[in-house]
A and B are shown apart, each in its own frame.
Chain A
């Protein structure tokens, strides 16, 4: 899922400046799980904003997903009369809401962080960088692109110390140590010996915005 985090109240207040009626719009999927943009977070933020900006109206609404047309359509009428939508979705959701409710100004209430997992409640970590051509079959299902700070395909580098990465040895694990440990457990350390040629980064964002098409599913 997409991991995000609420922007500081101060930043949000700057964005709502000059707007009197604000619709705080939550997203009930990814960002609800990482406790940043679901119904509850909408309630807390709207309440906080009503205290901070008593002259303004903050209406609360949450839809299932802001990255799908039909859910956004559900709030088309609700959004009438609001001069700003403060979207608590990931960047994709914010953008799509703005695209579909084009008569509205839409601003982001969250900072989108990563594609990741809920390691445990309150602890969400990055696990995939959407490189476009997945290589998890070669690395014991540990992503070298997302979990190695340098996205090395043939790691580890010399900065790997006691299982930690040199960019932040206290907090960041060495992705390649994790890969090694996993492969060792799987009895597939032979995969460490394989020399991986450079990846085709044009399949990643370096190749421009990506699109997946499925003719059979198109209307």
Chain B
């Protein structure tokens, strides 16, 4: 388990969360390298398909980070995103995947430190949950197919 490094995909809107990440960078604040940020114009662009596909591709955790509620540059894109996250949480539950692997966060562009805190929080949360069962299976399969990939622990739910 010590060696388990979660792979987390973060869908960030360009106006707030991504700008906050940028600010965190300028502030030289460090955040876990486990986060792979995908920038979108607005979290309203986050289609439920993106979230499911991220898990299918082996993400251990996924989160959507948008502007503060009421502050979305496209009025209510972040509120849509929140609902979609909720919908896919339900689907994950049906699949026996812990719904806490998926989360919605809000932050303003001025909140570099919050971006870092959220990245840390998700990394710790997923570390505690262990690797996604999908990733474990996927890597096992790739390994048996002869690809040189380090397997991860099988302790995740």
Q: Hey, which bits of chain A sit against chain B, CB under 8 A?
A: 8-10, 40, 43-44, 47-48, 50-52, 54
In the bound complex, do residue A48 and residue B141 qualify as a contact, i.e. CB atoms below 8 Å apart? no
| Further pairs besides A43-B53, A47-B53: 14, Cβ < 8 Å | A9-B91, A40-B48, A43-B52, A44-B49, A44-B52, A44-B91, A47-B52, A48-B52, A48-B91, A48-B94, A51-B52, A51-B55, A51-B134, A52-B96
Q: Which residues of chain A are within 8 angstroms of B141 by Cβ–Cβ distance?
A: 54
Known: A9-B91, A52-B95. A47 touches B134 (CB 8 A): no
Chain B interface helix/strand/loop/mixed: helix
Closest chain-A Cβ to B84's Cβ sits at a distance in Å of 11
Query: Which of chain B's residues have a CB closer than 8 A to the CB of A50?
Result: 56
Which residues of chain B are within 8 angstroms of A8 by Cβ–Cβ distance? Answer: 94
B binding-site residues for A, Cβ under 8 Å: 47-49, 52-53, 55-56, 91, 94-97, 134, 137-138, 141
Show 28 A/B contacts (Cβ-Cβ < 8 Å), sorted by A.
A8-B94, A9-B94, A10-B94, A40-B47, A40-B48, A40-B49, A43-B53, A44-B48, A44-B49, A44-B52, A44-B91, A47-B49, A47-B52, A47-B55, A47-B56, A48-B52, A48-B94, A48-B95, A51-B52, A51-B55, A51-B56, A51-B95, A51-B97, A51-B134, A52-B95, A52-B96, A54-B138, A54-B141
CB < 8 Å A-B pair total: 37
Chain A: interface secondary structure? Answer: helix
B48 CB, nearest partner CB in chain A, Å = 6
Closest 8 CB pairs of A and B: A9-B94, A47-B52, A43-B49, A47-B56, A51-B134, A44-B52, A52-B95, A54-B137
A48 partner residues in chain B, CB cutoff 8 A: 52, 91, 94-95
Alpha-carbon distance A176/B134, docked complex (angstroms): 52
